[in-house]
Amino acid sequence: MELRFLVQLGIIGFTFFMLINASALLVLAERKIMGFMQQRYGPYLVGPHGLLQPLADIIKLLMKEELRPKGADKWLFTLAPMLSITAAFAAFAAVPWGAETTFFGLLDDPVSLGVADINVGVLVIFAITSMGVYGIVLAGWSSNSKYSLFGGLRASAQMISYELSYATALSGVILLAGSLSLREVVDGQAGTWFGVIPRWHLFLQPVGFIIYMIAGVAETNRAPFDFPEAEQELVAGYNTEYSSVRFALFPQAEYINMTTMSAVATDLYLGGWHGPFLSPEYGWIWFLLKVGAILFAYIWVRWTVPRYRYDQLMQFGWKWLFPASVINLVATAALVLYFNA
Amino acid sequence: MPETLTFYALSGLAIGASALVIGQRNPMYSVLMLIASFGALAGLYIQLDAPFVAVAQIIIYAGAIMVLFLFVVMLLNAPQEDAAEWDRSHPLRPPVVARFGGMLALLLVVQLAWALLRAGGLGGPVAGLGDADVVSSVRELGRVLFTDYVFAFEATSILILVAMVGAVVLARREGD
Amino acid sequence: MIPLGHYLIVSAVLFAIGTAGVFLRRNLITILLSIEIMLNAVNLTFVAFARQSGNLDGQIVVFFVMTVAAAEAAVGLAIVIGLYRHRESLNPDAFASLKW
């Protein structure tokens, strides 16, 4: 009992640690990949091949002066980045990232890899990510600067709009799996069809997957939907007035949100930790590979596709993406009814 | 014991935050305090074995309706509520007319207290007759919602549609 | 175990706070917020009774209250925006005239 508790505590700490690492590594990965796409090296001076660059970045940000504009709202200006980062970390708590394991016989009963197994896990993740918008909106409002305010306004409108498509696309998978628990959704994807094709929801819900990914990019405010910070129009949007640690928390929250989004996509559509060649004990390797692939796609898209115009974003979200996701949901429901009846 | 403690902490937070919603003048802070209050209520719902209601509370109330409020507060950039002539010190200090409103509110409190005192069977534990598994089951909730209450469900969807059209028409600038 | 009465007391206090807000405040947005407090107080009662009777009907009613609250907020805020455009004020006393 005692040992089990310690192991679970260890898993929670490990998840937290890996999320922090993920955000640091993603900064480096982004700059490296961007560099190679633009036929240059990216950072390479600090450490071998620039591997220690994130560390240097962190030290630089910690050493910088904390600035707060005179007209800014004292409390909300500090609260906003905290809200952002808290929501980002908390959302991952409901994401399982590996099969049940006994740690090679260390424990008598298998323990599941992941912070918490919640029976309405999908909804919990959705609820917590929807709280993330407050960080950005409050940052925009409390800075008392017009660029920040525009960034905040854009963020609230954009995230509300795309949340709908996001949730509707996700409901298709819930219908197929018949459960709101992410672990059950993943375990429903074990095995293969005809011995070759893995039973991933991706192949049953291709449209849903595409909608999910597009809405996910918009939810995390990444290019081509990075309107809340659109450098060319709004200086830096909601984080124009921020500096030092308070500034650092926003990009960190963004990278952690990306990781969560990719992890949820992996669990819902790509079969989570199920894959060939590896025993379930090592399933988390598959999980990491799949999340990595999606994150690479994220960065790839950012440095390939130019930013939309804001009205185009709203038009696309409401007139194309949302109807498509509704049609997808209705078609899925009809097919599930037909084949299960 | 931890159950009682969480109950008092959460209900204290809900009441305190709600009191601050009406107890200070900055609409921005009012909205944020209300979000905190909703969060505390969601915690109470979880304690009442209603996880789906709790999550819906966060998604719909805190995640959507309150963002709308926040959006309007930011859009109008409405600053502090302008204090009336008789009131430069505190938003709750009333003149004669508002004192009448205050009396009505007080009357409501008295009536509610009276009703609570007169009602029997309130001392029993809240987890009395019901089975926790039945109440917290999302599947069962969906079944009841889409069978027994399907007419009400469809009626609400029409209501939402009407509200949507109404909001668009009302908020549109003339001449657009 | 927490008695049912305690939940009802919390709900009653919240409802009274909401009512007081509607009566006492002079900001349209805060008044709408007070209405939301009242709706939530009622929701708490419904969920508490649903738990006590082991019946899901109370939770279902909460969903309908939430949808109605969403509709109310959307329409109410649209009206607030319209009023603000006319008078540059959120004080309900500014809208006392029947015609302008």
Question: Is the predicted pLDDT of residue B174 greater than 70, yes or no?
Answer: no
DSSP-assigned letters across all residues of C52-68: HHT-THHHHHHHHHHHH
Query: Can you say how many angstroms the Cα of residue B161 is from the centroid of all Cα atoms in its chain?
Result: 22
Q: Which of B29, B49, B58, B137 to mutate to test the interface with A (most CBs of A within 10 A)?
A: B58
Contacts of B52 in chain A (CB under 8 A): 120, 123
Nearest CA of chain C to the CA of B19: how many Å?
6
Q: Do C20 and C42 contact (CB within 8 A), yes or no?
A: no
CA distance C46 to C23: 25
pLDDT (0 to 100) of residue B122: 66
What backbone torsions phi and psi does residue A304 show, to the nearest 5 degrees? Answer: -115, -40
From B50, B61, B72, B140, select the one nearest C65 (Cα to Cα): B61
Q: Is residue C50 part of a domain?
A: yes
pLDDT (0 to 100) of residue A155: 81
Contacts of B6 in chain C (CB under 8 A): none
Q: Do B70 and A119 touch (CB under 8 A)?
A: no
C-alpha dihedral sign at A124, A129, A133, A134:
positive
Residues 6 or more apart in contact with residue A108 via CB below 8 angstroms: A102
Report the run of H or E that residue A198 belongs to, with start and end.
strand A197-198
pLDDT (0 to 100) of residue B78: 59
Question: Is the predicted pLDDT of residue B92 greater than 70, yes or no?
Answer: no
B33 vs A: CB within 8 A: no
Q: Do A131 and B28 touch (CB under 8 A)?
A: no
Mean predicted confidence (pLDDT) in B145-174: 87
CA distance C30 to C41: 16
| C with A: touching (≥3 Cβ pairs within 8 Å) | no
The tokens for B127 are: 């987890």
From A255, A299, A287, A292, select the one nearest A20 (Cα to Cα): A255
User: Which contacts (CB < 8 Å, 24+ apart) does range A190-197 have?
Assistant: A190/A271, A190/A274, A191/A274
Residue of C nearest to B16 (CA): C14
Higher pLDDT, A43 or B176: A43
From A211, A197, A220, select the one nearest A274 (Cα to Cα): A197
Higher pLDDT, A234 or B34: B34
Question: Is the predicted pLDDT of residue A172 greater than 50, yes or no?
Answer: yes
Q: Do B70 and A153 touch (CB under 8 A)?
A: no
Domain ranges in chain A? Answer: 2-340
pLDDT (0 to 100) of residue B158: 92
Question: Is the predicted pLDDT of residue B80 greater than 70, yes or no?
Answer: no
Higher pLDDT, A227 or B164: B164
Fill in the DSSP letter of residue A192. E
Question: Is the predicted pLDDT of residue A119 greater than 80, yes or no?
Answer: no
CA distance A80 to B145: 38
Neighbouring C-beta atoms of residue B85, cutoff 10 Å: 6
Question: Is the predicted pLDDT of residue B121 greater than 70, yes or no?
Answer: no
Residue type at A135 in one-letter notation? G
B160 vs A: CB within 8 A: no
Contacts of A119 in chain B (CB under 8 A): 51, 138
What backbone torsions phi and psi does residue B17 show, to the nearest 5 degrees? Answer: -65, -40
Mean predicted confidence (pLDDT) in C17-24: 83
- Domain interval for residue C83: 4-90
Report the run of H or E that residue B93 belongs to, with start and end.
none
Fill in the DSSP letter of residue B131. -
pLDDT (0 to 100) of residue A140: 82
Residues 6 or more apart in contact with residue A73 via CB below 8 angstroms: A141, A142, A144, B28
Which of B62, B70, B75 is opposite residue A131, by nearest beta carbon? Answer: B62
Tokens 């405040």 sit at which residue? C25
Question: Is the predicted pLDDT of residue A56 greater than 70, yes or no?
Answer: yes
Residues 6 or more apart in contact with residue B176 via CB below 8 angstroms: none
Instruction: Please state, for a pLDDT cut of 70, what percent of chain A lies above it.
Output: 95
B67 vs A: CB within 8 A: yes
CA distance B80 to C34: 17
B-C contacts (CB, under 8 Å) = 249
Provide the residue count of chain A.
341
Q: Do C16 and B73 touch (CB under 8 A)?
A: no
Tokens 């809405």 sit at which residue? A215
Q: Is residue C95 part of a domain?
A: no
Question: Is the predicted pLDDT of residue C67 greater than 60, yes or no?
Answer: yes
Predicted confidence band of residue A1 (pLDDT cuts 50, 70, 90): low
Q: Do B51 and A120 touch (CB under 8 A)?
A: yes
Q: Do A254 and A198 contact (CB within 8 A), yes or no?
A: no
Q: Is residue C24 part of a domain?
A: yes
The tokens for A59 are: 């030290």
pLDDT (0 to 100) of residue B86: 46
| B with C: touching (≥3 Cβ pairs within 8 Å) | yes
CA distance C88 to B78: 9
Helices (H), chain A: 2-37, 53-63, 74-92, 121-142, 146-177, 182-187, 201-204, 206-219, 231-234, 244-269, 283-302, 310-315, 322-340
Which of A119, A141, A160 is opposite residue B74, by nearest beta carbon? Answer: A141
Query: Minimum mean pLDDT among A80-89, A226-235, C83-92: which range?
Result: A226-235
CA distance C25 to A137: 25
Q: Is residue C17 part of a domain?
A: yes
Q: Do B75 and A137 touch (CB under 8 A)?
A: no
CA distance A219 to A126: 11
Q: Is residue C99 part of a domain?
A: no
Contacts of B168 in chain C (CB under 8 A): 78
Q: State the first-to-last Cα distance of chain B, in angstroms, to the nearest integer.
A: 61
Give the count of domains, chain C.
1
Residue type at A324 in one-letter notation? A
| Residue C11 belongs to domain with CATH number | 1.10.287.3510
Residue type at A123 in one-letter notation? L
Tell me the CB-side half-sphere exposure of residue B75, using CA atoms within 13 A: 20
Q: Is residue C97 part of a domain?
A: no
Nearest CA of chain C to the CA of B145: how many Å?
7
